[in-house]
Structure formats: C-alpha cells, structure tokens
DNA sequence: GTTGACATTAACATCATGGGAAGGTTAAAC
DNA sequence: GTTTAACCTTCCCATGATGTTAATGTCAAC
C-alpha cells in the first residue's frame, strides 16, 4: 500500500504521515525500489490511533507515550489514565482562559452602543480607561 | 526612553516590541546616534493597548484594525463592536471544541480502572474499539 | 512507450513568542 | 580617561501541527 492509499484508509494526510516518520513517531517505512513508502494494515491501524488521539487534542509527545503503552501488553491502565487526566487538566485550563476572555469581551460589547458614534467602552478598556461601570 | 525601559513600563517584552515594529504594527522607532530605539509616553500607551488586546486573545490582524479605529476620532463604535463580536464567536467555537474533547476524555477516564491491569477503555477508544458502553 | 496520476524531497508559511550568539553603546565607577 | 557592567543591536533558530508549492522522479494502465 502506498502513501496515498494509506492516507485514504487512515484519514491522515500524506504530508502528516511523512511528518510522523520524520519526528520518529512512526518507524521508517519500507520502500519500493523506486523509493515509494510501503504500508501494511498494521501501519494503518497505528495511523488511525494517532488520528483519534489528535482529535482528542493530545500532543505529539503524549501520543508517543500512548502508542508506547498501547504496544506494551504489560502496561498498567493507571499509566494510561494518568496521561489522559493530565490532558483533561490542560484542556480545562485552556477552556477557563478562553472563557475568561469571552466573559470580559461580552461585558464590553454589551455596553457598546454599536452605532455611528465614536465613543466605545471596548476601546476605552484596551486603552486602559474603564468607562462603562 | 530606551527599549528596556519601554518594556518595563508597558509590560511588553523588548523582543516583542521589536517584532511589532518589524511587522508594521508600530511605526519605526526614532534612534539615538548609537542606533538605540527611543520611545515616548505615547508609544508606551500604544504598547499597553496592544498588550491588553493580546490578553483578550485578539489576533495581530485584529489588533492592527483596533489600533486604527482607536486612532481615528471619526470611527463608528459599530466597527469596533463588530471586531469584538467576531472574536467572541471565535472564542466560543474554540471553547466548544475543547469542551467536546474534555467530555469525551472524561467519559473514557471514568471507565478506566486505573490500576495495574492492562485493559483500558482509553486505549480501546484510540484503537477504534469502543469497549466500555 | 507514452501519459497521467501519484510519489519524492525541500523549502517556506502559519502564529506569537522565546532563546541565544556575536558584536556595539552607554553610563557609572574608578 | 579608562574600565566594566549592563544594556542594546541584528540575525538565526525553535516552538507545534499542518498546509502549500515547486522541481523532479516513479508507477501503472493503455
């Protein structure tokens, strides 16, 4: 199976498949005489694993760790859960940061006339003047 | 005022002050005979504006637009509000994406024993097998 | 054997920020 | 007046995951 086919089957772009190889996330692929990469059903499964992990927002480093645990039949599920829980905490922190931004902006927007006049609490806030309260 | 002082006063790193100049967000700074950049109180105010806008998550492009509106005394507050509302929508979309990830992961983590045993619904999910429901 | 589809590598872009190196300037202490 | 420390300058590289483009080479079907 060449890289185009592997890309279709796994849902990972050819570009990213090469990238995963370059950063050592996947083993170097076997090649045809002409230099084309060759993939097996097993490789597709790995690529699907990576894709799903990316969909859940895991970083490449975490995915490397998860792949290692996946391949190790003597893993402890506690180790897997620890990685996942860490990621949940990361996500939560990012969500809170974004929500704090959104709340602040929502406040400002609510107090902005939004018409032809120039005075605007949003600009006032950015300029360091708190005008609307 | 040199760049170090401007950095302290504005809370923007010297590195970023130079960067904002390089990308055209700030006008080219005047220089001493020795080539050092010189900043005025007005420049500091602009830098603080940028910093606050970054804290609220605006992109450089949006900040460029906001700076333009800030400087234009004949602006319409509606234009400012439009930029802000767009950003709120962006934030909301990003939040929802992260929350969806968090919810999925939370599900998986809740069903993982998290002990010495190897079987783990998190890995099963990543591998494309849905084991816990 | 030609041709069209696909592969290869490499370089560059994104976005905002940081790190470091090699060298020049300033200002204060002596 | 010189030394020295702190600061500044530019330039290059790195992040993280992904995309784009370009120049060139291979495969497979006809």
Q: A37, A71 in Cβ contact below 8 A?
A: no
Q: What digits encode the pLDDT tens for the residues B5-33? A: 999 999 999 999 999 999 999 999 999 99
- A107 beta partners: none
Q: What digits encode the pLDDT tens for the residues B100-130? A: 999 999 999 999 999 999 999 999 999 998 8
Q: What digits encode the pLDDT tens for the residues A71-118? A: 999 999 999 999 999 999 999 999 999 999 999 999 999 999 999 999
Positions of strand C less than 7 angstroms from a protein CB? 6-9, 15-19, 24-26
pLDDT average, residue stretch B72-77: 96
Q: What digits encode the pLDDT tens for the residues B42-71? A: 999 999 999 999 999 999 999 999 999 999
Q: What digits encode the pLDDT tens for the residues A45-68? A: 999 999 999 999 999 999 999 999
**A59 lies within 8 A of chain B by CB:** no
* pLDDT at position A17 over 90: yes
Q: Can you tell me the distance from the alpha carbon of A108 to that of A124, in angstroms, rounded to the nearest whole number?
A: 9
- The answer for residues whose C-beta is within 8 angstroms of residue B93's C-beta and 6 or more apart is none
Q: Provide the whole-model pTM.
A: 0.90
Four-point Cα dihedral A61, A66, A69, A75, nearest 10: 110
* pLDDT score, position A90: 93
* pLDDT at position B133 over 80: no
Mutate to test the interface with A, among B107, B122, B124, B127 (most CBs of A within 10 A): B122
Who among residues 10-69 of B has its Cβ near strand D, under 7 Å?
A: 14, 18, 35-37
- Cβ–Cβ gap B80/A112 under 8 Å: yes
Give residue for tokens 């998550």: B57
* pLDDT at position A133 over 80: no
**B101 lies within 8 A of chain A by CB:** yes
- Cβ–Cβ gap B77/A101 under 8 Å: no
């Amino acid at each position: 199976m060449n890289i185009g086919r592997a890309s279709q089957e796994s849902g990972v772009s050819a570009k990213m498949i090469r990238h995963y190889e370059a950063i050592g996330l996947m083993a170097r692929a076997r090649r045809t005489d002409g230099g084309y990469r060759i993939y097996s059903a097993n490789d597709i499964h790995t690529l699907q694993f990576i894709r799903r992990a990316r969909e859940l927002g895991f970083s490449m480093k975490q995915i490397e760790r998860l792949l290692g645990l996946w391949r190790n039949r003597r893993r402890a599920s506690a180790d897997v859960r620890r990685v996942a829980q860490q990621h949940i905490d990361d996500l939560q922190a990012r969500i809170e940061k974004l929500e704090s931004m959104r709340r602040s902006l929502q406040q400002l927007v609510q107090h902005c006339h939004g018409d032809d006049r120039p005075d605007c609490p949003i600009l006032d806030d950015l300029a360091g003047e708190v005008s609307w309260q």
